[in-house]
Amino acid sequence: MTDTPLLRVSNLSKYYGARLGCTDVNFELYPGEVLAVVGESGSGKTTLLNCLSTNLAPTSGRAEYRMRDDVWRNIYDLSEAERRFLMRTDWGFVHQNPADGLRMTVSAGANVGERLMAIGDRHYGNIRASAVDWLGRVEINEDRVDDQPRSFSGGMRQRLQIARNLVTSPRLVFMDEPTGGLDVSVQARLLDLLRGLVGELGLAAVIVTHDLAVARLLSHRMMVMKDGRVIESGLTDRVLDDPREPYTQLLVSSILQV
Amino acid sequence: MSATPSYNFAYLDEQTKRMIRRAILKAIAIPGYQVPFASREMPMPYGWGTGGVQVTAAIVGPDDVLKVIDQGADDTTNAVSIRAFFAKVANVKTTTHTADATIIQTRHRIPEKALSAGQTLVYQVPIPEPLRMLEPRETETRTMHALKEYGLMHVKLYEDIATHGRIATTYGYPVMVEDRYVMSPSPTPKFDNPKMHMSAALQLFGAGREMRIYAVPPFTKVVSLDFEDHPFTIQHFTEPCALCAATGVYLDEVILDDHGGHMFVCSDTDNCEDRRAHGHRGALSGEALEAAE
């Protein structure tokens, strides 16, 4: 981790008409840091993530991103072309439902290779080699490279989606409930894989989850949201072991013990 | 003057022709860009060339000589009826000879004989959007054109190679026009793609149902998309035309009987007739003995 943040968010608010999505969110994200955003359904987690990833325009506030050339840019002032370029090179977005983030009717290899082709790679052999390499890193067998994700299991689809996002070596990845809808053993494998990749590549990530175990395993810091506001934030272990806010205490004590 | 005074010259009214001409001028100014236009109902069904007919009607003048081809042939229903249509409503001269025509309306082929300056090729286009089958949202494809985001087009070619071991797209093969817009050359076989590059003739594309006009002005760069290690290639035929013995032309397979008999003949009928008139004979021309002269 370095001393210069990658993303600076100040006073970010999003209202849907009169209804509150999220308000007054402030944080800094450092390179290589994983931030978990937790809270119950309707607490504004996904609204925040969609604002950060520029899928939604916030009502007010700024989010400044340090580009690869060390220039700070407010991501809401970027032109459409710059924004889309950023999203397919320096950023990644892992959807909860893999079908939202994958092209289900083209092969796994083409799914991984799409970003490479989008930034101008025109050598089939190289694209395919990268795709095979990345499939290996997310533990998908090489002989599935020409299969469509429709024939993949849920866990494999999610891993494929991760490979597709990481192929351009992004510095920042947004994840929306990456383990949602997977059974526990598959979840455990995926978390293990994600933790390895994040550490190995030095990725910064913002992970939205309602699963505190996911936050515990993956994140360095966490923010707890309730009713559109951040009510508590800090190091993950501190928040989970010594929750201060009554709501956080409730959340932590609600975890089922087996 | 026209034999049917009840129609305006070339069927469309003058204001409509002006509207289409404005779209054509804009299309020529931005090679490969799809210009929307207020496509009219024509006295033929969509899919039969309503776009091409409107473009032809807008540019045709009393001195023009019109040729219409369908799959390369001058004598198919579509070609014959469109030719008769303009002979009636515009009273223009028609021809089947490529070299004599000033306007050639075409479906699925570019004539084998190289076109010259002053000639205009009008294509009938069913689906003008090359990204249509890859991205169903029209708003999104327009943004992709505007931002020159064409990675998706290569995803399709990648899929071809991954599935078939080569680029298996054989018609409607996407091209990059003047290093800016990816364009669908209409469903012409990829065999004809190289003829579009630096052509001396003006090429206009009309899509009636989709209400789009686009153009490739003379001497414009038209490059077929490919991969560095899988370069673009055209179809090659192992045998010559069975009627005129031509090689290096696009051939149609014609079934002769129900015992598997077949022959390959020129798709461009005018080119084939011209060659036979000059004494070329193929294996099945029925004059094999004379050919041995």
Question: Is B208 among the residues known to form the active site?
Answer: no
- Answer yes or no: do A80 and B147 touch at CB < 8 A: yes
Residue A257 has a CB neighbour count (10 Å cut-off) of 3
Q: Do A117 and B159 touch (CB under 8 A)?
A: no
Reply yes or no on whether B49 is catalytic.
Answer: no
Q: Which of B49, B51, B52, B266 is catalytic?
A: B266
Tell me the longest C-alpha to C-alpha distance in chain B: 63
Asked if B152 and A115 come within 8 Å (Cβ–Cβ), the reply is no
pLDDT band per the 50, 70, 90 thresholds, residue A61: very high
Provide the 8-state DSSP code for A2. Answer: -
Interface contact flag, B227 A146, Cβ < 8 Å: no
Q: Report the residue of chain B nearest A83, measured CA to CA.
A: B147
B206 included as an active-site residue: no
Which one from B32, B52, B72, B282 is the annotated catalytic residue?
Answer: B32
Share of chain A above pLDDT 70, in %: 98
Please tell me the pTM assigned to this model.
Answer: 0.87
Query: Annotated catalytic, B165?
Result: no
Q: What is the pLDDT of residue B285?
A: 79
Strands A221-226 and B202-207: unpaired
For residue A104, the chain B residue with the least C-alpha distance is B134
Maximum CA extent, chain A: 57
Run of H or E residues at A157: helix A154-166
Residues in chain A: 258
Q: What number is the ipTM of this complex?
A: 0.86
* Known active-site residue B32: yes
Q: Where are the beta strands (DSSP E) in B125-267?
A: 175-177, 181-183, 202-207, 212-216, 222-224, 251-255, 262-266
Confidence label for B66 from pLDDT (cuts 50, 70 and 90): very high
Q: Do residues B227 and B42 lie in contact, with contact meaning Cβ atoms separated by under 8 Å?
A: no
Q: Which residues of B touch A146 (CB under 8 A)?
A: 162-163
Tens-digit pLDDT profile for residues A163-188: 999 999 999 999 999 888 788 888 88
Q: Residue B162 is nearest to which of A80, A107, A119, comparing CB atoms?
A: A107
Is the pLDDT assigned to residue B243 strictly greater than 50? yes
d(CA A203, CA A166): 9
For A80-131, write each residue's pLDDT tens digit: 999 999 999 999 999 999 999 999 989 999 999 999 999 989 999 999 999 9
